[in-house]
């Protein structure tokens, strides 16, 4: 597990990441729409051992990782085919020693025909994020408000990806004299049956690292996990609804169920299928003078049934974010609450976790190419696994301070 982020090869790993992305960028430059950005971090952390190093820290960087780090190096390509088809590929390097220095986080083909009779259709096939987050709306599925995502969206980036087919139908009310639009979304997918195991072993965390499609996530006391795999051959689904009022207010709700067989497992890798289902809802409100409010809620459960013996972990999380933009400056603050419960079949409080977090961030956009962000994050959590797996106290207060310098280039960065 520890080799995910090993110190001896850190410099060479970062160099390989940047070389690979530069090669990808040379290809991307031939595309109609491309973007290349590099995010470097100077950080001070009082966090526990990182989740990527077999620890149960709730922040991305542990105390032994303070100093200069690569936050993210990313290249994205969007290539249109005709007027209604687009191919999109998004790849990133995170500066850790995962299976490969660069990993693809999204790759999909999108069909978006012209609107008809007041409606608009969009179909996506490939690997992409479900339309759950109201926070991670920037390119590369990043948050434009903070460096670290909320607990909800951190988990989505760790364990969930739609690998399948999604269709969205929008009623364009604002084009027919109304003040709002409505949209319905549905999808079928596979290769996401281990989703839920990280919540049951590690609990919620707050960071910005997204698991690549062929990458791994660390688990305290266990081998690294590849979360995107098919085990029982069953397809999952989700369905959602969205309402927009004058592009100022967005309401979104979605039900997700991977329909995994909780008794199934892969005999070669030993990976189990986790039945994971949840509901999410949220709102984003934007004023005309730079204020933004985002609130989101998620509630669900994950369980396995090896040999017919069921083990369940209900979970829930919520956050509220307030942001104010003044010219090239932005100030943001967020409060998170999260909880993983020990459900039926589990002895005592096995796998349980509860906690809350405060995040404050200041962003300065010097120009379209250069951005500077200072973020302070404090997480207070009580985890049963810290005592059970690591033999330490369950209660922990972790603080992380990051200064990020981001340089972006691309066809749309002007």
Span 366-385, mean pLDDT?
97
pLDDT digits (tens, 9 = 90+) for 226-278: 899 999 999 999 999 999 999 899 999 999 999 999 999 988 888 899 999 99
Instruction: Point out which residues pair with 398 in neighbouring strands.
Output: 379
Span 149-169, mean pLDDT?
98
Most confident by average pLDDT, 29-33, 120-124, 308-312: 120-124
pLDDT for 17 equals 57
Span 295-323, mean pLDDT?
95
Burial class of 217 by CB neighbour count within 10 A (0 to 12, 13 to 18, 19+):
buried
| CA 225 – CA 311 distance, rounded (Å) | 19
Indicate the domain borders of the chain: 2-283+303-308
- pLDDT greater than 50 at residue 8: no
Span 32-53, mean pLDDT?
91
pLDDT for 333 equals 99
**CA-CA distances (angstroms) from residue 375 to 137, 150, 274, 335?**
18, 13, 34, 14
Span 59-75, mean pLDDT?
95
Span 128-155, mean pLDDT?
98
| CA 361 – CA 142 distance, rounded (Å) | 14
Residue with tokens 């590099």: 38
Instruction: Quickly state the pLDDT bin for 347 (edges 50, 70, 90).
Output: low
Span 7-26, mean pLDDT?
52
Decide: helix, strand or coil at residue 277.
Answer: strand
pLDDT for 22 equals 56
| CA 160 – CA 206 distance, rounded (Å) | 15
pLDDT digits (tens, 9 = 90+) for 72-131: 999 999 999 999 999 999 999 999 877 778 999 999 999 999 999 999 999 999 999 999
């Amino acid at each position: 597990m520890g080799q995910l982020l090993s110190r001896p090869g850190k410099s060479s790993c970062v160099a390989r990441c940047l070389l690979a992305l530069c090669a990808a960028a040379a290809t991307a430059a031939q595309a109609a729409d491309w973007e290349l950005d590099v995010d470097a971090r100077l950080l001070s952390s009082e966090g526990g051992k990182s989740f990527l190093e077999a620890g149960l820290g709730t922040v991305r960087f542990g105390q032994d990782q303070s100093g200069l780090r690569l936050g993210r190096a990313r290249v994205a390509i969007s290539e249109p085919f005709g007027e209604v088809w687009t191919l999109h590929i998004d790849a990133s390097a995170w500066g850790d020693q995962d299976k490969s220095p660069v990993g693809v986080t999204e790759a999909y083909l999108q069909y978006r025909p012209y609107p008809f009779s007041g409606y608009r259709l969009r179909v996506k096939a490939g690997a992409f994020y479900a339309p759950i987050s109201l926070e991670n709306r920037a390119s590369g599925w990043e948050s434009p408000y903070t460096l670290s995502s909320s607990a909800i969206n951190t988990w989505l980036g760790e364990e969930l990806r739609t690998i399948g087919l999604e269709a969205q139908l929008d009623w364009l009310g604002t084009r027919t004299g109304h003040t709002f639009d409505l949209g319905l979304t549905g999808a079928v997918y596979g290769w996401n049956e281990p989703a839920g195991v990280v919540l049951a072993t590690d609990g919620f965390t707050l960071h910005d690292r997204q698991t690549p499609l062929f990458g791994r996530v660390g688990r305290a006391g266990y081998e690294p996990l590849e979360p995107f795999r098919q085990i029982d051959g069953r397809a999952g689904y989700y369905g959602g609804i969205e309402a927009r009022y004058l592009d100022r207010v967005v309401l979104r709700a979605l039900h997700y169920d991977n329909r995994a067989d909780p008794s199934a497992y892969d005999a070669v890798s030993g990976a189990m299928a986790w039945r994971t289902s949840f509901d999410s809802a949220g709102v984003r409100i934007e004023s005309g003078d730079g204020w933004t409010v985002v609130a989101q809620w998620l509630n669900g459960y994950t369980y396995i049934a090896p040999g017919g013996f069921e083990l369940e972990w209900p979970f829930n999380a919520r956050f509220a974010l307030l942001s104010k933009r003044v010219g090239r400056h932005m100030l943001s603050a967020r409060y998170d609450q999260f909880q993983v419960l020990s459900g039926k079949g589990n002895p005592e409080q096995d796998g349980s976790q509860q906690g809350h977090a405060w995040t404050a961030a200041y962003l300065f956009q010097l120009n379209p190419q250069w951005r500077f962000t200072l973020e302070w994050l404090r997480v207070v959590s009580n985890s049963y696994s810290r005592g059970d797996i690591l033999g330490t106290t369950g209660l922990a207060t972790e603080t992380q301070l990051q200064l990020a310098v981001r340089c972006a280039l691309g066809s749309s960065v002007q």
